[in-house]
Structure 1
Amino acid sequence: MSVINRPAPAAVETDEVTVVVATRNRPDRLRETIPRHRAATIVVDNGSDQPLAVPGAEVVRLGENIGAAARNVGVERAGTPFVAFADDDSYWEPGALARAAEILRAHPRAALLTARVLIGPQGRLDPISAGMAEAPIGVPPGAAGPSVLGFLSCAVVVRRDAFRAAGGFQPRLFVYGEEALLAMDLAAAGHQLSYVSELVVRHFPEPAGRDTRARARRECRNRVLTALLRRPPAVAVRALAEAARSQPDALTDIARDLPWALRHRRRLPDAVESALRRLGQ
């Protein structure tokens, strides 16, 4: 791992937040979004084929692609109490990072705030954000917003200490669906996770060229492993049965990691498990 450059960030609106961006082989898109970040920015290069040099950000180059765990590297390097995540195709709208810091200071139990996500040039509301706004598991007294037990990684600000204590993103899950386990573990530790609609993230995904079959297989594998790690046996069995029906190829991947998952199995508090059930999970 090596640090390539550490230029001063532009248009800083808060010194309490660091933006962490994990990227791989998308330098052109990254250079479009980096100038939009209004806080100190750390780019973690997930083993790109060519080294990155990104003006306006500190770049940490990893020797290999470690998936979502690259964000953990950025969090470790951050020197601020709060960390915002972004993808190389997303950015936080002006004022959002400073406001997130204010909200986290005012809500000491909050470990994670997830923003309203607007997709593409038209600013279409992400369906996940729409679902969160409906508050299916309620709004606890004094919370920053509706409770959530999931999030989009490109649209959260976390309390750095709570994130680190929870272990961050599990490297074994790599990518796709890695957020669920972290959300469960933060909630199990007694933290609040809240949807805050006044915080806005713009997201410009490019689906072209992605292997949707490989992604579906990985998502299925991670869903089952997460159930094995934290959920009651009946839930894990249902997840396995669904995998056998919809993604039978994923069973090989699951079998490979089954001993690890069972060794690290830990029951969630009843309140967290009950909330997951209300979400239909």
Structure 2
Amino acid sequence: MNDRISVVVLTHNRLPEVTRTVSHLLSLPEAPPVIVADNGSTDGTATALRERFPDVQVIECGANLGAAGRNRAAKLARTDYIAFSDDDTEWQPGALDEAVRILDSAPRVAVISGRVLVGESRELDPTCARMRASPLDRAGLPGPALVGYMAGACVFRAAVFRKVGGYEPRLFIGGEEALVALDVLDAGHAIVYCDAVVTVHRPSAARDAPLRRRMLARNAALVAWLRLPRGEALTASLRALAALRAGERNFLRHAAALLRDIGWAMRRRRAVGAAVMRMCEQVRQAELAAFGRREALQRLRSARRYTLRASDKRQ
């Protein structure tokens, strides 16, 4: 049993998934306190969880607050550390003990982003592969240094999570962790990736892909206006508009909403310091170089396939 860490689970209208996840969490050897934030579900989630798992704290948010529902649950945690889980992710045995050990031994680290294995095949999430290859200086840290993390697969120092204010309700969900990550780094803390802190993601079929794409593009623009240089904010805004035009029938309505949200962000703008921007730029340049090499290899393979097909035709 480990009384140093709690698990917060976020859910909305996915009773089968959250039931499976909570059942798994309660079976862990660490026996962590589990707190579920129910984001206004209409499928009886809160009642069902209380009946089946009387030791689990269930907080009813009253409406779908998006990522900010995690803030409500985190307020109830009485442990030093909080592991966040979505209703389709499951921390593996020993992962939470390892997270506690790392955070106890590395006071500079505020967030651990864990290794995410996807589906029954347990393939490594591509985002984790990029985190492993982080170009940032990791001197004195227990893992690769990061400028971001995965919201449904991370462990926080509870005090830092509360200090930065948790998740911004206006961002709802979709890339919402970017703002928190920038604030954590700007406060002088570190974010690291750790292979030994493992969770399994079983992607739910109950997903609205078009909505998620729209939210990701919109939130990238808002985070840029809130924390990044104006040039980057303008670029992110143009990308968001392009994404809306490409994927939305109601482009004008969504574009008008985006512009209103940008106005809101500009009024609350507080750019991060130069040190954080240097870290972000270093990661961006490394990823551009990696994608450039990948694209070159893809072109080379395509050229080889074309040459082979042409050779076959000549024979």
* TM-score (structure 1 length as normaliser): 0.91
1:262 paired residue number: 266
Q: After the TM superposition, which parts of structure 1 deviate over 3 Å for at least 4 consecutive aligned residues?
A: none
Q: What's the CA shift string for 1:216-256, capped at 9, x where partnerless?
A: 11111100000000110110111112223232334322212
1:43 paired residue number: 36
2:219 paired residue number: 222
Aligned partner of 1:274 among 275, 278, 299: 278
- Structure 2: state its 5+ residue gaps: 246-250, 286-315
CA distance in 2, matches of 1:142, 1:81: 22
Q: What's the CA shift string for 1:103-139, capped at 9, x where partnerless?
A: 1111111110110000001100000001001122231
CA distance in 2, matches of 1:223, 1:177: 7
Asked if the contact 1:221–1:251 (Cα under 8 Å) also holds between the matched residues in 2, the reply is no
User: Bigger CA drift: 45-54 or 105-114?
Assistant: 45-54
Asked if the contact 1:24–1:46 (Cα under 8 Å) also holds between the matched residues in 2, the reply is yes
- Amino acid of the residue matched to residue 87 of structure 2? D
Task: Give the SS at the match of 2:174.
Answer: coil
Aligned partner of 1:31 among 7, 11, 19: 19
Asked if the contact 1:23–1:44 (Cα under 8 Å) also holds between the matched residues in 2, the reply is yes
Asked if the contact 2:182–2:272 (Cα under 8 Å) also holds between the matched residues in 1, the reply is yes
1:68 paired residue number: 67
- Structure 1: state its 5+ residue gaps: 1-12
Asked if the contact 1:51–1:61 (Cα under 8 Å) also holds between the matched residues in 2, the reply is no
1:94 paired residue number: 93
Structure-to-structure mapping, 1:74-223, within 5 angstroms? 74-139=73-138, 141-206=139-204, 208-223=205-220
Task: Give the SS at the match of 2:143.
Answer: coil
CA distance in 2, matches of 1:177, 1:65: 17
Identity %: 39
Matched, 1:242 2:239: yes
1:6 paired residue number: none
Q: How many residues align?
A: 267
Asked if the contact 2:228–2:272 (Cα under 8 Å) also holds between the matched residues in 1, the reply is yes
**Alpha-carbon RMSD:** 1.4
- Amino acid of the residue matched to residue 268 of structure 2? H
Asked if the contact 2:15–2:45 (Cα under 8 Å) also holds between the matched residues in 1, the reply is no
Asked if the contact 2:136–2:279 (Cα under 8 Å) also holds between the matched residues in 1, the reply is yes
Aligned partner of 2:230 among 214, 229, 233: 233
* TM-score (structure 2 length as normaliser): 0.82
CA distance in 1, matches of 2:86, 2:45: 18
- Amino acid of the residue matched to residue 147 of structure 1? A
Deviation at 1:157, TM superposition (A): 0.4
CA distance in 2, matches of 1:209, 1:69: 20
Q: What's the CA shift string for 1:146-191, capped at 9, x where partnerless?
A: 1111121111000000111011111110000101010000000000
